[in-house]
Amino acid sequence: MKNYDKITSLFKRKGYVWGPSPEIYEGGVAGFYDLGPLGAMLFNNIENTVRAVYFENNYYEIKAPLIMPSKVWEASGHLGGFTDPLTKCTKCGAVFRVDKLIKELHPKEIVDGLTYKEYDKKIEDLSIKCASCKGPLSKTVPQDMMLKTTIGLDEEAYLRPETATTTYLQFKRYYEFFRNKLPFGVYQIGTAFRNEISPRNGLIRKREFTQAEAQLFIFKSDKNKYSEFKDFEKIKLPLLTWKEQDKKGKPKKTSLKEAIKGKIIQNKAYAVSLAVGYQIAMELGLDEKRLRYRQHYPNERAFYALDAWDLEYKTDSFGWVEICGVHDRSDYDLKQHAKYSGKDLRVKHGRKKEVPHILEIAAGIERLVFTVLEQAYDEEKRRTVLRLLPSIAPIQLKIFPLVSKDGLPEKAKNVYELMLNEDFFAEYDESGSIGRRYRRADEEGVPFCITIDHDTLEDESVTVRDRDTMKQVRVKINELEDFLEEAIEGDIDF
């Protein structure tokens, strides 16, 4: 079990995550965090990995505004219906999100999809008190999560609580772009806002966060004719159905072909969407043994949703955490926006016009950042190391002169500039002993260190040290680029 305080202390010290923000003002505000230099670079690398997975699977990126008028959110169902179950301590006034409080104190309890009366009964049956002062808690009440603003002088508007709704609004434009043919996919990576009352768990539950949501627009009758399925049917996913959850069962690795045949997954297009979500986790190097796809209970899903599965990662700090949700949203969204806008969003399907269904893949970037960092953190007897996948590490290379004399710094800087010119994320460091520099690099998650020594001046070779094994090999400078590219891809064993 990893120590959360130790982990977050390293992240702060090494410039990954700072906060709550703004720290200088009374310790900051819960739910807001800064990413330091290394954190921002890691964030960008993870975001670009997600972007590459989506594009590889034929989704095209779009960008939409962060703010929309109230009518949009009325149509989507968010306005007045986007709430969290809250309870308040009648003694000290502390406020808690009920489902998260129950889960935090009793991890094995099933709280998804409960009514407010059922939440109250859970609190009573489990004798749950205020986490701050042990005082009694009030009845569960709804709390609106939308953040309100104004456009111009008086037009009511809201910051988007998700990227999905703003993605749907240009459906007719996409239809034209894709030459009036379905299915097609688009995605958006951007900021969303939720007025969490008592956000906890650092990056896992923020008030301002980044979503990477992909939407596949497809006719209902085409879901089981999805041609891409043949490329994915042998892929096995760790599936935990809602029925197995009732039995306290464990995820079962099941091929998509078997899942379709056994009607665990309803259609082929949705099965491929699940595989794409899982591919994101694999590209980031997340441990398969800590991953599962958990199906939503029928009463947990939105009323219009035909199916919903969450890709979850078992963290040491917070237990199972959702990192990506995959939802079959039926034709609800486009029909709602057609109704409220007065625009016909049907398109030609054979001899008739029809509103398509939407299959959604929704990943949270900050949650991926945290799970990647927590998994990477490792303590050994003599060092602390972040075992980040080389392809997403903020700094890929550190260049060291063995000593700061004898022409070694000049030679090291030449190698450093060469690596920059070859588009590696590299950093030059000559401060402190070589051992201390190695330890700094290990804590920062740098996969490879390159040391220039006196032999370099004679034979044009350098020492390349691997972070994870601490093994070293000699490589000619003129062969360094190819060697490092293979090492970053994992094709070289030290």
Per-residue pLDDT tens for 350-374? 999 999 999 999 999 999 999 999 9
* Residue 130 to residues 95, 123, 135, 144, 481, Cα–Cα distance (Å): 9, 10, 5, 22, 58
Taking phi over 0 as left and psi of -120 to 50 as alpha, with beta for the rest, 382 belongs to alpha
For residue 326, pLDDT beyond 80: yes
* Residue 271 to residues 176, 204, 256, Cα–Cα distance (Å): 27, 26, 6
Cα–Cα dist 281/372, whole Å: 9
C-beta contacts of 404-409 below 8 A and 24+ residues apart: 404/430, 406/454, 406/457, 407/457, 408/452, 408/453, 408/454, 408/456, 408/457
What percent of the chain is predicted at pLDDT more than 70? 100
**Three-state SS at 199:** coil
Which pTM value belongs to this model? Answer: 0.91
**Mean pLDDT, rounded, for 469-494:** 95
Amino acid at the residue 19: G
What percent of the chain is predicted at pLDDT more than 90? 88
Geometric angle at alpha carbon 104, from 100 and 105, rounded to 5°: 125
Q: Residue 29 gets which letter from DSSP?
A: B
Question: Which of 116, 360, 111 lies closest to 217, judged by CA?
Answer: 360
**Mean pLDDT, rounded, for 1-22:** 93
pLDDT of residue 108: 81
**Mean pLDDT, rounded, for 107-116:** 83
Q: Residue 66 gets which letter from DSSP?
A: S
pLDDT of residue 1: 62
Q: What is the mean pLDDT of the chain?
A: 95
Summarize pLDDT for 411-469 with one digit per residue, the tens.
999 999 999 999 999 999 999 999 999 999 999 999 999 999 999 999 999 999 999 99
The domain ranges of the chain are 35-68+159-375, 385-488
Structure tokens at 363: 């990943």
Q: In what order do the strands lie in the sheet with 95-97?
A: 95-97, 83-88, 141-144
Summarize pLDDT for 179-188 with one digit per residue, the tens.
999 999 999 9
Summarize pLDDT for 189-219 with one digit per residue, the tens.
999 999 988 788 899 999 999 999 999 999 9
Q: What is 385-488's CATH number?
A: 3.40.50.800
Higher pLDDT, 97 or 259: 259
Cα–Cα dist 208/494, whole Å: 41
**Mean pLDDT, rounded, for 23-42:** 96
Cβ pair 108, 102 in contact under 8 A: no
pLDDT of residue 196: 86
CATH tag for 35-68+159-375 (out of 3.20.20.70, 3.30.2290.10, 3.90.1170.50, 3.30.930.10): 3.30.930.10
Question: Sign of torsion, CA 36 19 206 377?
Answer: positive
